[in-house]
Structure formats: structure tokens, C-alpha cells
Structure 1
Amino acid sequence: MTRTTNTAFDTRWATNADLPALERLMKRAIDALQTGLLTPEQVAASHAIMGLDTQLIEDGTYLIAVRDGIIAGCGGWSNRATLYGGDHSTSLRNPALLDPARDPAKIRAMYTDPDFARQGIGRLILDGCERAAARHGFASVELMATLSGERLYATAGYVPVEKVEAVVDGIAIPLIRMQKQL
């Protein structure tokens, strides 16, 4: 098991035993951290396109930050074509394997528990995922950012590639596809 420590948070790769805590954390993060950036209707609709992708845990590529036994944040990297979406958003999923020689790895499902926001957890997890992707031969990464995550990613060197909208039951949710060279 790979472990790192930064600002009193340990990181480790998630296991199936973490699933219930991760699901609770993601729901809290979606509901709380997008407030003020999206309408209440957009926040509610976001649950249809965001959430837990257990493929990341099965692949051993989902990193969690823990302090005192509490999961404070999570996020992963993937060598699969899926850019975003959870287990329930099947139309967004593509399990095809990427070629590190030509494809960017995907940074996926980044969430911080609202009680731990603005404490460097997102950056800690992002750095760990980027290092892991680079160790697996990837020269670049890409992600689909929410408005609440855009600033973190821009500060970490990601550049916007395109702005898109995911539409759920007629409600448009703004997203930004971003990339970075490792």
C-alpha cells in the first residue's frame, strides 16, 4: 500500500470497505460545494452525472485522504476512456483502455468533504494521482471540471480545452474539460 503524508492527512488507495463512506462524502460535497455556483436545480441534477465509479477502486487507482480515521477527500486517475460519471451514469462510461503513448490519463471523481474544504486535500490527491499516472507512462492528463473545481485545476497547471454542458432532465450543468502535460 502506498502511503504519503501531507498537512496531517494520510493518503492510501481506496478499497471496497471504503464505499459507504465515499458515497456519503460525495453526496455532501456535491450538495455543499456547488452551492452559490449553480442553481439548486443544477445541484440536484448534478447527482445524475457525478458520483462513485467503482471501476476506479477495482483498478486500484482511487486515492483517499484520511485524518483520524475520517475520509476527508478522494479522487482518482484512470487508464480508461471514461472522462466523468459514476456507476449510475452508464451513458457516460467507456471502459476501453487508453494508450499512454498517445492518450491522456483521466483524472476522475475528485471530492472533498465540506468540513475539510480549503485545507489542501484536493491538491494532495491531485498530485498523487498525477504521479501515479506518470509512473504508468502517461505524459498528460485530462479531466472534466465542475465550476467548484475549476480554480484548483487551473492553479495546478490545467488549461481549459472546452466548455460543455451536461443536460439532465432539461437542466444544463456547466462543465469544463481541462488538460495538463505531466
Structure 2
Amino acid sequence: MTTYASGKIQTRWATLDDLPALKTLINRSIDALQVGFLSPEQIIASHAVMGLDTQLVEDGSYLVAEYDGVLAGCGGWSKRATLYGGDHSRDLRDPLLLDPERDPARIRAMYTDPDFTRKGIGRLLLQQCEQAAADNGFKTAELMATLSGEPLYIASGYHPLERVEAIGNGANVPLIRMQKILQP
């Protein structure tokens, strides 16, 4: 297990034992951090198109962040074609392995617990995921951002490629596909 530290934040690669706590954190994050960006119906719909993809944990590419020992955030990167979506959104998932020479790595399932926003957790997870992708030969990274996540990604060097809408439970959820050139 590799552990990184940045102030009071420690990160490590997630294990299957982390799944129950991660699912709770993700649900709290969706419910609280989308307020002001999405309608209540869109927030409910977000649960149908977002969430934890356990393939990331199984691939060893999903990080958890702890702030003073408390689970505070999570996020991962992937060498698979799936751009976004959780275990329950099977129509969005594609396990095809990407070619680092021509395909962008995927930054996936980035969530911060609402009690721990504005502490650098999201930025640290994003940087470590980008570094891991670069270490695996990827030259670019791509992600599907929520409206609430877009400012972090822009500040981190991502640029929008397209705005799309995912449909969950009959409601449209606005998303932004973004990309960044990684530093070797």
C-alpha cells in the first residue's frame, strides 16, 4: 500500500473493504454538493448516472483520502474505456482497455464528503490520479464533470470538449466532457 501525505490529508489505494464507506460518502456528496447547480429532480437523477465503479477498486486505481483519519474523499483513474457511471449504470460501462499512445486515461468517480470541502482533498486526489495515469504511459486525461466539479477541473488545467446531458430517472443531468494534457 502506498500512502501519500499533504498536510492532514493522507491518501491510499482503496480496497474492497472500503466499499460500504465509499458508497455512503458518494451518496452524501451527490446529495449535498449538487445543490445550487441542479434541481432536486436532477440531483435524484444523478444517482442513476453517477456512483462508484468497483472495477476501479479491483484495478487498483481508486484512491481514498482521509482527513485526520476520517474518510473525506475518493477518486480514481482508469485505463478502461468507461468515462463515467457506477456499477448500476451498466449501459455506460465499457471494460475495453485503452491504448496510452492514442487514448486518454479516464479520471473517474471523484467525490468529496460535504464536511470536507475546500481543504484541498479533490485537488490532491486529482493530481495523484493524473500522476498515476502518466506513470502508466498516458499523455492525456479525460473526465466527465458535473457542474459543481467544473471549476476545480478548469483550475487544474482541463478544458471543456462538449456539454452533454445524461438521462436518469426521466430527468436530464448536465455534464461536461473535459480533457487535459498530462505532464510526463
Q: Please classify the TM superposition score into its range, dividing by the shorter chain length.
A: over 0.9
- Equivalent in the alignment of 2:108: 108
C-alpha deviation, 1:168, in angstroms: 1.9
- Equivalent in the alignment of 1:70: 70
2:134 partner amino acid: A
1:140 partner amino acid: T
C-alpha deviation, 1:8, in angstroms: 0.7
Alpha-carbon distance between aligned partners in 2 of 1:138 and 1:169, rounded to the nearest angstrom: 35
Alpha-carbon distance between aligned partners in 2 of 1:121 and 1:94, rounded to the nearest angstrom: 28
2:48–2:169: 8 Å Cα contact kept in structure 1? no
* Matched position secondary structure for 1:48: helix
- Equivalent in the alignment of 1:81: 81
- Equivalent in the alignment of 2:56: 56
Alpha-carbon distance between aligned partners in 2 of 1:33 and 1:137, rounded to the nearest angstrom: 33
- Equivalent in the alignment of 1:39: 39
- Equivalent in the alignment of 1:91: 91
Alpha-carbon distance between aligned partners in 1 of 2:169 and 2:22, rounded to the nearest angstrom: 26
C-alpha deviation, 1:2, in angstroms: 1.4
1:104 partner amino acid: P
- Equivalent in the alignment of 2:181: 181
2:61–2:76: 8 Å Cα contact kept in structure 1? yes
2:5 maps to 1:14 = no
Moved over 3 A (4+): none
Alpha-carbon distance between aligned partners in 2 of 1:75 and 1:160, rounded to the nearest angstrom: 20
Alpha-carbon distance between aligned partners in 1 of 2:73 and 2:168, rounded to the nearest angstrom: 26
Alpha-carbon distance between aligned partners in 2 of 1:8 and 1:54, rounded to the nearest angstrom: 27
1:142 partner amino acid: E
- Equivalent in the alignment of 1:159: 159
- Equivalent in the alignment of 1:170: 170
**CA distances 1:58-105 after superposition (whole Å, capped 9, x unpaired):** 000001111233110000000000000000000000000000000000
TM-score (norm 2): 0.97
* Matched position secondary structure for 2:49: coil
1:91 partner amino acid: D
1:153 partner amino acid: Y
